[in-house]
Amino acid sequence: MNETRKLFVKSFGCQMNVYDSQRMADNLAPEGYVETATADDADLVILNTCHIREKAAEKVYSELGRIRVMKEAAAVEGRRLVIAVAGCVAQAEGGEIMRRAPAVDLVFGPQSYHRLPDLLARAERGEKPVDTEFPADDKFNHLAAPSRAALRRRGVTGFVTVQEGCDKFCSFCVVPYTRGAESSRPVRQVLAEIERLADAGVREVTLIGQNVNAYHGEGFDGRPWSLARLLAHAARISGIERLRYTTSHPGDMTDDLIAAHRDLGALMPQLHLPVQSGSDRVLAAMNRRHHRADYIDVVARLRHARPDLALSSDFIVGFPGETEADFAATLDLVGEIGYASAFSFNYSARPGTPGAELPDQIEDKVKSERLQRLQREIDRSQAAFNRRSLGETFDVLFERPGRHDGQIVGRSPYLQPLQVNAPQSLIGEIAAVTVTEISSNSLFGVLAPAPARQPALLGAEA
């Protein structure tokens, strides 16, 4: 029996990193590591980093400064605190991290975490391993399966990585460099993982990938299967009531995937479909490989298949060369599509990406002013979407206790969080809720006596 040690994993960035962090913990459980909620009493701290946001590496170095102080305090108490840096900053910076932050004991990239027990053993022998290879063997074949107890603790919704990496090479994005080429997990492996989640009480599963709708994993017949086909099989797993997938590229919205939004009852009527800009000139400079009209056409076909589809998006403001007219086209697109929500950010150059080399970088002052205008437009769109929910009755999957006594929180099919006064015994259940109040984009409701009716036109009026 291994001696028990405490593990603290801090995740930065997207859901894929949260998923990876969970799998790292699963893989270390047989080594005797149990998760702890704070770095203070940990024997091993893993920073699972993200390279998408501005100054990502600098933020990691400043976090490492704080953890170094903890490591020194632990040494005074006679304890050894091992520090590991994982994720996309680790992939991008490699051994440079050890040079700038000598307290770090090991560095590994997103494709190497199945080798964590071995890397830790090397670190304990005093080596400073750096593993940022893109190994030919599939890490998912080597990861320990999570225990049922660990899955239950994580709640009634779960994420499953089905696809990693990207071949699109958008000119602002580091993913193709930090996560490598597109690869998809085999159907059998994905479905087995979803079955395990269902067995532990998970009711809703989100299939995730950097470019998830490019999924082409090996199917039961040995041929590549599409995401639509994978979703259809996942929907048959007993206990799984709801399916979602993210993040998608508009160019990979195939006819069968669009039809799945019409035909698969378990596939929730909500889709994150980033567009980044409403200007063709900027889309071309971003190497997005689609035009504004293509995006509008895909949305129209999706809404034809599923009229109440709620859409969300990502926007980058102030990409090099973006004129006021280009930006106006983005504002106009938000109005035209009518988003249920969206994320928007100022462009910031990522070293090593083609966008960083482009002339006509936009002044920060201009970017910030445009971002504020865009966010006002997105807020208007979101408020309009939410207003249409008032008085409607939806099925809500309750996920956790609310902030106030007697309150529980769940999500509508459209991914809106809904707060309801109801017994905690309903957590993990799906119940009909009528929306009674909306306050700053927070929705409140009451349990409805009648079975839920999914409103037919919630998303289609925009």
The binding site for ligand SF4 (CB under 6 A) comprises 166, 168-170, 173, 175-176, 210-211, 249
Rounded CA separation 228/245 (Å): 10
Question: In the complex with ligand SF4, which residue's Cβ is closer, 180 or 459?
Answer: 180
Q: Smallest gap, in angstroms, from Cβ of residue 258 to ligand SF4?
A: 18
Ranges of beta strands (E only) in 341-429 are 341-346, 393-401, 407-411, 417-421
- Bridge partners, residue 411, by sequence: 397, 417
In angstroms, give the least distance from the CB of 403 to ligand SF4: 34
Residue number, 166 or 452, with CB nearest to ligand SF4: 166
By beta-carbon proximity to ligand SF4, the closer residue of 21 and 211 is: 211
CA-CA distance, 425 to 24, in Å (whole number)? 31
Closer by beta carbon to ligand SF4, 128 or else 168: 168
Report the residue number, 161 or 210, with the smaller CB distance to ligand SF4: 210
Q: How far is the CB of 273 from ligand SF4 (least distance, A)?
A: 11
Q: Residue holding tokens 């919630």?
A: 458
Name the minimum Å distance from CB 295 to ligand SF4.
13
Q: Which residues of 69-94 are buried (b: 16+ CB within 10 A; e: fewer)?
A: ebbeebeeeeeebbbbbbbbbbbbbb
Q: Taking the complex as a whole, how short is the minimal distance between the CB of residue 325 and ligand SF4, in angstroms?
A: 24
220 or 343: CB nearest ligand SF4: 343
Task: Provide the token pair at 31.
Answer: 């080594």
Helix (H, G, I), strand (E, B) or coil at 85: strand
Helix, strand, coil shares, percent, the chain, to 5: 40, 20, 40
Give the torsion sign (CA, 29, 35, 40, 45). Answer: positive
**Which pairing describes strands 393-401 and 430-439: parallel, antiparallel, or unpaired?**
antiparallel
Q: Closest approach of Cβ 107 to ligand SF4, in Å? A: 23
169 or 343: CB nearest ligand SF4: 169
The CB density around residue 4, as the number of other CB atoms within 10 Å, is: 9
| CB-based contact 394:420 (threshold 8 Å) | no
Closest CB 132 distance from ligand SF4, rounded Å? 19
Question: Any residues with CB less than 8 A from the CB of 73 and at least 6 apart, and which?
Answer: none
Question: Looking at residue 203, what DSSP letter applies?
Answer: -
Cβ distance to ligand SF4 smaller for residue 166 or 430: 166
Q: State the minimum distance, in angstroms, from the CB of residue 201 to ligand SF4.
A: 32
